[in-house]
Structure 1
Amino acid sequence: MAAEPVGRRIAVLWVPDWPVVAAIADGLLTAGDVSAVHDGRCLTAVSAAARRQGLRVGMTGRSARSLCPQVVFAPADPGRDLRAFDPIVQAAQGVVSEVALLRPGLLQLGIAGAARYQGSEHAVIDSLIGAVAEAGSEAQAGVADGLLAAILAARGHALVPAGESPTFLAPHPSRTLLLAAGTRAMRAQYEDLIGLWRRLGLATLGDVARLRPAHVGPRFGDVGLQAHRLARGGDVQEARPYRPEPDLAVHVELEPPAARIDAAAFAARRLAEDLHRQLQRRGMVCAYLRVNARAQNGVTLSRSWRIDGALTANELTDRVRWQLEGWLAGRSGLAPSAPLVFLELGAEDLSPAAIATDGLWGRVGRGQAQAHRAALRMQSLLGPEGVLTPVAEGGRSPRDRIRMVAWGDDPTADREPAAPWPGQIPPPLPARLPAGRHPVTLLDARGHSVHLSDRGMLTADPATLAGVPEARRITGWAGPWPLHERWWEDDPAGPAPPVRAHLQVLCGDQGAFLLAVGGGQAGAAGGGAGEWWIEGIYD
């Protein structure tokens, strides 16, 4: 006998390898080639041809190159993914009115009304696939009880009968729960939970579903209860018998109209922060974020995002900015594109937050709040890129280990700082990094130039540093630290040869320097073998 359904019927539309498809649409990759999308840490999407060569999501770039040297990488760009996906969303809205964006490449659709109108869920799925095909993409769709079951059904292009979702989910490994994570924070919480389950022997979703809810809450908390509902074929939020809280909305009239993404994104950031504060004050979280806009030519634009759990103001801003990029660039298919004169953010389907407390050390201090307002004020005068903040990242050289982002943008590192980086410059790092490459010459005790050999060693002990305002005697040195990164892109004729090695030199009380040597051919433009420049200055 079929189990009692615990979640409502949900349809999910999935376009496989969407980041790769979006990169192809932007001309960064070529269809049919062995290609992948890389976020600086690992592969986030791979093409079908790449999978046939053994490449998988989560693999490092170095491992991918070792398996398939001809693979072509494109940088990860969520904004690009969303802009390209907007026509697919509009095609789905022509078939089903209730559409929510889970992430680019994945849509959640309320199918009950459309199924009654068209006669069956099969008919709705056929209509969706046809509409997306007319928009220029191939997609798969599935229907099931609950979000996770519907996502897995879409990946198998299946319709799971009502009440059968727990049975359908049972054999899947517990790690498939990550497919339902809508935010970075939720994904991190699920990963911690899955690691704990693995140590406890809960290897499949069926193992998790067999736990009693009364035992899950005290042991695994609210995240465990949410994951348990998904494993049983339910939705992220438990059905509430009481009247939900009224929706929250904030809006602004844009004067002058915003024709550029930076101007619209700045207004969106203020709205997102205001909406985030109101949600925090009320101790609420929303299930959907709706972005409404009106263009100068009278066209009204609207899009809904599925939200699981609490979002930070930065994450809210990112979603709105990605959406505005698609609208203002004219990529959404809503012609003609025109400047925006009205913007509204709405938090829908509110529910009490599981935890709504101050930080560990109390509320944000007055000085910190004033500094934040001052930075926003400077951005309003100088533009979004006028106020930058550094983010520590993983890397080998000092320049690689710091990334500047606009104030208020997501400060999360793209590359894990704690990951092993062979050839990394040991601490302390230089206090100053010159704006350009300042060439210098290393001389040995006899006045001959010191080069880097093919084996990554110095041809002689350096004694003098020439090329600075005055020649300086070297009293100590460390290194060299050779680098063997991006060897496949080594272009001897390029304007900026890749770094082959770093060397630290101490010039007594005249300072200390971090030197770099290029990897091009001797005499090439911009440097060559044995030609050194100042990479950093120690104070």
Structure 2
Amino acid sequence: MMLFQLETPVRALVTWFPDWPLVAARLADALPPDVPAAVIGQGVIAACSAEARAEGVVRGLRLREAQTRCPDLVVCAVDPVRDAREFESVLSSLEERAPGVEVLRPGLCAIRARGAARYYGGEEAAAGAVLESADRLGVEARVGIADSVFAAEQAARSTSELSPLLVLPSGSSRDFLSPFPVEVLGQPKLASLLKRLGILTLGSFANLPIADVRARFGAAGISAHALATGQDPRRVIPRKPPRKLDQRAEFEPGLDRVDQLAFQLRSTADTFVAGLQTEGLVCTELRVLITDEEGSRSERTWGHPRHFTASDVVDRVRWQLQSQPPANNRMPDGGITGGGLSSPVTRVEFVPVRVDSIAHHGRALFGDGAEEQIHHGLSRIQSMLGHEAVVVPAISGGRLLAERRRLVPWGDALPAGTAALASRPWPGRIPDPQPATVFASLIPVLLLDADKEKVRTDHRGGLIAPPIWFCPTGDPARRRLVAQWAGPWPLRQRWWDADHRLEADRFQLVDGNGEAWLLLLDEQNWWAEARYD
């Protein structure tokens, strides 16, 4: 009795980009080129460069062991969003040569081989066009063609740098897959069970009767069995290319002054906003990419409390160029390339990261309310004075009051994890009610005993002598009597971190003028952390 009938496999052309997380990180300037480098995921090596492999670094190696083998190893964290974003330009290039691309994951894609082969006059010619497209972008690619997506992927992974193409004749996929280990099925639990049963290769697994496979391994076993026999039932489903909403401006020769760039980019910003409005959208989060003549790139994502207008887009470019430029980025005539760039700007790109329906951002029927007026006023001040000239407070996590207060530029989203930090218990923090005035930096003060000596704590954390005099300016001549006091409360954190270790004692007091203070005693000095107004 037939359990089910597999569809006739359709030949697939799979393109594999080796070590794509590493390639994407280098394209995004997260890793330098031509040095031992690796991408780390969950504490192990996810991808590494050829220079790192020459030092003995391999995938799956723990970071500490990798750094032991290669002390000069440069690492960055894995970022799926970055991988997908950088892969988009590769897909666009491939779709120009061979439409109908399906993204299996960033760094791996599939095309129906039949259509491409008919257009180019053969499967090898079609694969050559794909390889040429990748070569134009400066990325390494490998191509495999077989009767199924799975077999074509394994064929692509079996190629080498000198021979980047492998075409399996029709009907030969099963024999090709036969010597591969069962781990390539991508099902660790099933692979572990098969190995315990003595089934080590795909060939041995494919030779099992399908009825026995179904009875012993269920639906997952039948799917894996189809892969092993070269009859992968998956179809190549072409993606729908995304709408082109980004805009780019190129300058030849490059521009080295911010005012010149702002003027030249105005029309590009108008086109960018108008293109979104044509699609019924507005941009609420924008990525600006700036490239200079030497190929260096400055990239930043900007948020907006409402949505970006053309003026807002130009302001973000100006702020990005002016944000903490290195000293060697100042041009002889006073121009600034800024943002990590070292030569005149040749290209600026606007990419909408997050969009929303324009219907959600329409003007009110009876005019703008107070909130809209406040927004326009603050945005105008920010445009004149700079991005960080207008800030709003947010509560973060920490034991010191300065750590709990975070100032975020107007329009920017809170940094990731801020709310999670604020919700933690933080033993040792000051309970409510909180002080009304928190000093931007600790103010040196004096707390004296009856002999006008600094009040100290003993090794058990208690006061050696009670406080009698308080000097809010640090000048003993301008001292005040201490009316009430409470404490000390020890504050100990990060004893293992030399740079962030804190050993202090907190103290509350009310002076003779009726003012309440929150004090901090470190190893030698007293500091005012806040005042209760």
Q: TM-score, normalised by structure 1?
A: 0.48
Higher RCO structure (Cα 8 Å, ≥6 apart)? 1
Larger radius of gyration: 2
Q: TM-score, normalised by structure 2?
A: 0.48
